[in-house]
Structure formats: structure tokens, C-alpha cells
């Protein structure tokens, strides 16, 4: 590790600048980072130590309110990201790159905190694209505010039977009621459960079974008369991501508004998930940087066998290799960001470029999440016994990293959906050819293409069994060669 890296690793904004060149809003990012260093880190640590916040279900008069009770400082911490532009930069100004740069800084300090920002973005984008003029006028400005009056969003798909097989497991029913719908059902993992707006998957009465029968609805927290539109049954006790409240929601004739046209719901659900998957990738890389920074900083000060651990040849090599992996992961995640920034305005039916983005999003979500977990685990090991103490930040990094592979689609889901895009659209060809044209190693890329083509020729019963090996190798090759092409 060089003195230059010693300077870059502690700073997410400087790291971004080192990889990307001039940033979209350098002063804003510098100020946001300074806030975390001066005050935000302490608030974040306190929220994590406090664990699951209480759910205040009734006010003093007995009226149902379902309020998640965080300390007031939490709202301050949360609002700083909205002020920095994590939502309004993308939706109002069309600058997804700026939004994801804010998300990177957030995740370096608090990966869980990026979840409310993520699902708010994943609510605002489909509302802006597919909401009626009346819905946009009524709700969108509230999501784009730059102060503590900002409304938040949430994405509610998962039900009690599971989340990956939405076509089979979504049992929430939507019944038409004039220009609105009434939703009845239960959502089992509802991240950012205190949000003022949510998007939820539901099946209209009489719609066909399977994923094609689903639609996406905008569900406000309160009805126009001020009463609650749904009930929060309870909050989940989680080992990590305590900066975002997760609960269970009961929909009982809850008012919802259809987004898009009938028959488009599956596409809209997947669009929202893909926005969040890119956020997940960016957050995973930022957490990886933080874990590497914590391990390296500790190792420089820890003396064993007569010299700092950082100077021990084995540890130094491990650190170098993990830094190389960090750079690979960043290249892959930012390719997903860049492609999304090109195609996010598209609506069904999508271009070939959009399907290329889909593959990269799956590769990135899968690979960066695993890199984050392994790097956080190594950082804990680098601390020795101190690594499991709450006095040090690395135990929290591992707790936070564990969810990255799960939410917004498990590794199995990324593998199977990613290889389905390959099989149906053959998008691995333009992906690998494009990286070669930008300076990637043509031999490595040709070998990767050959491996995928061999997989495509397998009998159907063998394809799924072999898919993880092929997908993982493709992800690693794409990450490494993207970095080579962009260096």
C-alpha cells in the first residue's frame, strides 16, 4: 500500500475522484463527508447500538399512529443525504451519477442508512415515469424536498411465503374503486416502514396467476382524511442495517394508485428492483473500501514479532490483493451505474442496451456483495480478538455486509435471472466485445465468451446446476477487464 492509498482509503469522496476524475458535486460531497466525520458517525453508531427502535402504535388519545420512534438526531442524519441530492438529483435533474456518488459516501459511513435513500429513489423514479399527472403533482414534490420535511419512499414486494418467487407468493389483492384501488394483504419485509409513500406489488381481482398478473401500486401512508392507510404489525429485530426500520404491514382495504398501464406491472417491479440493485452494488463497494481502510489503519499501529502487522509480508500481500479486488468491484459497480444512467428513462418494450444493463446489474449485485462480505470478514480477522468487540467498527461492517447478498434478490436470483438474460438476449456478446474494444484483455474476454457459449449448449437439465460456476467466473472477468479498460 502506498502513501497515496493511505490518503485515499479514509475518504470516500477522494476515492471516487481518484477513480472517476472530477465529481458531479465536489463541494456537496466534501461537506457531506465532513458532516459524517464531525457528527454523523457518532449518531450512526448510537443508532446501531440502540438496536430495534420502539414502535409507538397509539397516541395518548388511543388513535392508531404506528410511529417508529428514533431519536431526533436520526432524522438529522437521514435528511443530510436527501439534502445532498440522493433523490432530487436523479429525478428532478436527471443526474443519476450524482445520486449514486452521494450514495457511495453514505454507505462508506453507514451502509444501512443508504437503504431508506435507495427505496425513496426507487419510489420516486416509477412515480415520475408512470404516475398520472395528478399523482405526480400531488406526491412527487414531497419526495424531492431538500430539508427535514422531505417525504420518504419504500418498496414492498416480499410476503410471508418469500420474496424471490413473486409470481407465486404475492397474495395481496387489489380491487378497483373508481380511479383508485383498494389493497388487501400482508407485506412481510417492509424496509423503511415509516415512509410516507410506498410502492407495492399486488394482483388485481381476476388477474392471471403468476408474475404476469401482478401490478405496481403507489400506497400513501395516510388517506386524504389523515387516517392511517395501513397498519404496522411489528418491527423486525435485525443484527444489522439498524439505520432502516423493517417491519410487517397489514393492508386492509388500503388505498392504492395504479402505476403504468394494466399488464405492465412485472416490468415496473423489475425496474424498481434494478435501481435498488445498482444502489446495493455501490453500497457494497463503499463498505469494502471502509473495511479495507479499518484493517489497514489497525495493522499500521499494531506491532507483532518486532514490526507493524502492515509490514509483515503475508499481511501486506493480502492487503494489496484486496485493494485490487476493491478496484475491480468499483469498476463493475460503476459500469452498472453508467448503463442505468443511459437507459433508466426507457419504458417497455426495452432496447438491447437496456437488456445489456440488466445483465451487468445482476453481475454487479452478485459479485460486489460477496466481495463486501469477504473483505469485512478479513478486516475482522486482521483485528484479531479485538475484531469481535463493539469498541471497533469492523464487527458492525460484517453485520451490515451480510444483508447485501440477500435483499433485492439473493445470489441464486441474480444467477438465474442473469443467465436467463444471457440465454434469451445473448447480451454477453456485446458486453464482452465492448469491454475488449475499450482496452480489456481480448484473450481473457474471448475465453469468458467461450465458456458462456459452452454453457448455452448444455442440455436444459444441466444448465441450472452449472449456472453458478459460469456466472461467477463471468462476473469476475467482467470486473477485472472493466478495470483494465478504464485505468
Number of separate domains in the chain: 3
Beta bridge mates, 204: 174
Regarding whether 200 and 106 lie in a shared domain, the answer is no
CATH number, position 183: 2.40.110.20
Q: What pLDDT, on the 0 to 100 scale, is given for residue 169?
A: 87
Range of the structural domain that residue 352 is part of: 269-486
Q: What pLDDT, on the 0 to 100 scale, is given for residue 162?
A: 74
238-248 confidence digits (pLDDT tens)? 999 999 999 99
Q: What pLDDT, on the 0 to 100 scale, is given for residue 168?
A: 84
| Nearest to 335, CA basis, from 365, 292, 376 | 365
Q: Could you tell me the pLDDT band of residue 368, with boundaries at 50, 70 and 90?
A: very high
Mean pLDDT value across residues 144-172? 91
| Cell numbers standing for residue 384 | 484479531
What integer best gives the mean pLDDT of the chain? Answer: 96
Regarding whether 365 and 383 lie in a shared domain, the answer is yes
Q: What pLDDT, on the 0 to 100 scale, is given for residue 4?
A: 54
Alpha carbon 334 to chain centroid distance? 13
pTM of the model: 0.97
As a dihedral over the C-alpha atoms of residue 183, residue 185, residue 188, residue 192, rounded to 10 degrees, the angle is 20
CATH number, position 115: 1.10.540
149 found inside a domain = no
Regarding whether 442 and 408 lie in a shared domain, the answer is yes
- Distance (Å, rounded) from C-alpha 181 to C-alpha 179? 7
User: What string of DSSP letters covers 104-125?
Assistant: HHHHHH-TTTHHHHHHHHHHHH
Regarding whether 164 and 121 lie in a shared domain, the answer is no
Is the model's pLDDT at 6 over the cut of 80?
no
CATH number, position 411: 1.20.140.10
Domain boundary among 217, 248, 265: 265
Regarding whether 372 and 472 lie in a shared domain, the answer is yes
Pick the residue with more confidence: 470 or 6?
Answer: 470
Regarding whether 14 and 131 lie in a shared domain, the answer is yes
233 found inside a domain = yes
Regarding whether 427 and 415 lie in a shared domain, the answer is yes
Is the model's pLDDT at 163 over the cut of 90?
no
Kindly report whether the peptide bond that precedes residue 349 is cis, defined as omega within 30 degrees of 0: yes
Amino acid at each position: 500500500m502506498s502513501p497515496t492509498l493511505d490518503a485515499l482509503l479514509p475518504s470516500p469522496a477522494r476515492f471516487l475522484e481518484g477513480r472517476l476524475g472530477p465529481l458531479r458535486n465536489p463541494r456537496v460531497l466534501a461537506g457531506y463527508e465532513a458532516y459524517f466525520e464531525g457528527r454523523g458517525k457518532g449518531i450512526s453508531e448510537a443508532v446501531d447500538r440502540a438496536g430495534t427502535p420502539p414502535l409507538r402504535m397509539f397516541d395518548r388519545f388511543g388513535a392508531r399512529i404506528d410511529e417508529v420512534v428514533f431519536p431526533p438526531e436520526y432524522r438529522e442524519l437521514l435528511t443530510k443525504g436527501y439534502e445532498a441530492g440522493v433523490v432530487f438529483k436523479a429525478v428532478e435533474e436527471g443526474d443519476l451519477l450524482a445520486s449514486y456518488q452521494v450514495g457511495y459516501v453514505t454507505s462508506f459511513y453507514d451502509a444501512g442508512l443508504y437503504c431508506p435513500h435507495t427505496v425513496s429513489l426507487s419510489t420516486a423514479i416509477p412515480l415520475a415515469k408512470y404516475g398520472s399527472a395528478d399523482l405526480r403533482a400531488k406526491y412527487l414534490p414531497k419526495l424531492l424536498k431538500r430539508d427535514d420535511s422531505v417525504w420518504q419512499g419504500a418498496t414492498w414486494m416480499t410476503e410471508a411465503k418469500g420474496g424471490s418467487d413473486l409470481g407465486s407468493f404475492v397474495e395481496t389483492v387489489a380491487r378497483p374503486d373508481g380511479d383508485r384501488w383498494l389493497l388487501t394483504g400482508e407485506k412481510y419485509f417492509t424496509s423503511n416502514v415509516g415512509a410516507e409513500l410506498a410502492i407495492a406489488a399486488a394482483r388485481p381481482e381476476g388477474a392471471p396467476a403468476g408474475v404476469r398478473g401482478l401490478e405496481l401500486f403507489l400506497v400513501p401512508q395516510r388517506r386524504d382524511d389523515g387516517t392511517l392507510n395501513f397498519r404496522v404489525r411489528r418491527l423486525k429485530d435485525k443484527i444489522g442495517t439498524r439505520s432502516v426500520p423493517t417491519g410487517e404491514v397489514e393492508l386492509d382495504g388500503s388505498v392504492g394508485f395504479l402505476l403504468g398501464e394494466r399488464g405492465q406491472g412485472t416490468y415496473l417491479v423489475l425496474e424498481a428492483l434494478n435501481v435498488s440493485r445498482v444502489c446495493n452494488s455501490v453500497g457494497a463497494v463503499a463498505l469494502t473500501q471502509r473495511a479495507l481502510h479499518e484493517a489497514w489503519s489497525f495493522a499500521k499501529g499494531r506491532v507483532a514479532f518486532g514490526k507493524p502487522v502492515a509490514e509483515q509480508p503475508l499481511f501486506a500481500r493480502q492487503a494489496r490483493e484486496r485493494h485490487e479486488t476493491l478496484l475491480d468491484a468499483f469498476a463493475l459497480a460503476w459500469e452498472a451505474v453508467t448503463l442505468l444512467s443511459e437507459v433508466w428513462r426507457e419504458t417497455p418494450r426495452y432496447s438491447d442496451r437496456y437488456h445489456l444493463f440488466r445483465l451487468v446489474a445482476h453481475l454487479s449485485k452478485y459479485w460486489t456483495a460477496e466481495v463486501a462480505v469477504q473483505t469485512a470478514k478479513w478486516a475482522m480477522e486482521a483485528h484479531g480478538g479485538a475484531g469481535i468487540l463493539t469498541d471497533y467498527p469492523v464487527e458492525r461492517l460484517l453485520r451490515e455486509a451480510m444483508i447485501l447478498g440477500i435483499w433485492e434478490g439473493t445470489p441464486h436470483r441474480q444467477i438465474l435471472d442473469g443467465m436467463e438474460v444471457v440465454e434469451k438476449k445473448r447480451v454477453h456478446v456485446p458486453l464482452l466485445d465492448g469491454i475488449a474494444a475499450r482496452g480489456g484483455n481480448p484473450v481473457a474476454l474471448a475465453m469468458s465468451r467461450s465458456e458462456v457459449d459452452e454453457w448455452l449448449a448444455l442440455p436444459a437439465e444441466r444448465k441450472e446446476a452449472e449456472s453458478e460456476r459460469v456466472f461467477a467466473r463471468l462476473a469476475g472477468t467482467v470486473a477485472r477487464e472493466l478495470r483494465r479498460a478504464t485505468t
